[in-house]
A and B are shown apart, each in its own frame.
Chain A
Amino acid sequence: GENVEQHPSTLSVQEGDSAVIKCTYSDSASNYFPWYKQELGKRPQLIIDIRSNVGEKKDQRIAVTLNKTAKHFSLHITETQPEDSAVYFCAGSSGGYNKLIFGAGTRLAVHP
């Protein structure tokens, strides 16, 4: 079946450093790629999304890049802060109903 792989599973950075999380997808028809942030014990929340007709999108300290040819996309967080600590999930759409296939998540820890 369709698959989204996410790396790394855990990521530890110092406050102020950048963090990069990468995902690859298998469905070449995928056209929508959201990123969700889930703090401990909380609900997942959409932080940024990108469509396949766009190569890059930025929102303040967060950016997402997409390489359709290689079928991978990445989340970039600059100037990380302790409140960025959370589990981040990538996802790709798949199938006629645009079903989301989620990656396994990346646990990001930002140390002061």
Chain B
Amino acid sequence: DTAVSQTPKYLVTQMGNDKSIKCEQNLGHDTMYWYKQDSKKFLKIMFSYNNKELIINETVPNRFSPKSPDKAHLNLHINSLELGDSAVYFCASSPTDVLNEKLFFGSGTQLSVL
């Protein structure tokens, strides 16, 4: 019944590897997001998709590539992982026509790059 679900919950990997995080929402929302929360708890938007179309790309390195196969899914693929990529990544979705309002967050994926 989880509204916004993302997998995996924990991801531990070596530098240089490629990894993916998956996100799905069953709320019928048109807009989905990826946020990054660093070790100091600072939340920052990475990407926003509206109906499978990229709306916001917030100066994220091109090693990060989001993919939205349909409006209920927004996956995040990361190439050549670096130590600085270690963070909690939150997927989110929102119900309104106005972007970034009333966000519903997933439970987060804690990525640790060793």
Contact = CB atoms under 8 A, between A and B. Distances in A.
Contacts of B42: 102, 104-105
A34 B101 contact: yes
A93 interface: yes
Contacts, number: 54
Contacts of A105: 41-43
Interface string A74-112: 000000000000010100010001111010110000000
A46 B103 contact: yes
B1 interface: no
Nearest to A46: B102
A89 B48 contact: no
Given A42-B107, A43-B107, A44-B105, A100 B100 contact: yes
Nearest to B106: A43
Q: Is the interface of A mostly helix, strand, loop or mixed?
A: strand
B90 A98 contact: no
A46 B3 CA distance: 14
- Would you list the 4 A-B pairs with minimal beta carbon distance, nearest first? A43-B105, A102-B43, A98-B99, A98-B100
24 contacts: A34-B102, A42-B107, A43-B106, A43-B108, A44-B43, A44-B103, A44-B105, A45-B105, A49-B101, A87-B41, A93-B100, A97-B48, A97-B55, A97-B56, A97-B99, A98-B98, A98-B99, A98-B100, A100-B100, A100-B103, A102-B43, A102-B44, A105-B41, A105-B42
